[in-house]
Amino acid sequence: MEQASATVQQLARDLHNALSIGDRDWHRLKGDRHRRAAEQLAAALHQLLLQGPSSDEDVLALLQSAQRWLRREQRDPGCPRSK
């Protein structure tokens, strides 16, 4: 694949940033399977456009994660407990 233009890369970055769940919304959205799948898909697109073929394994892992969210095979593990 030819290197994506700076504009396309910025659009992918903006999409990923818009769909990433921040600290303030984490507890409200962490179990929303469609939101989590969209977040994973946007991350995969962002990686693919920025890193190209060198990111194939990472992109595939993100796509598989999105698929698991949609199939209800993946859930948020919850907050880690302090010891």
Instruction: Write out the two tokens for 82.
Output: 């302090």
User: For the chain, what are the domain ranges?
Assistant: 6-70
Higher confidence at residue 56 or residue 80? 56
Amino acid symbol at 56 = D
Question: pLDDT, tens digit, for every residue of 18-77?
Answer: 999 998 998 899 899 999 999 999 999 999 999 888 899 999 999 999 999 999 999 887
Distances from the Cα of 29 to the Cα of 42, 48, 62, angstroms: 16, 25, 18
Q: How confident is the model at residue 7 (pLDDT cuts 50, 70, 90)?
A: very high
Q: What is the pTM of this model?
A: 0.85
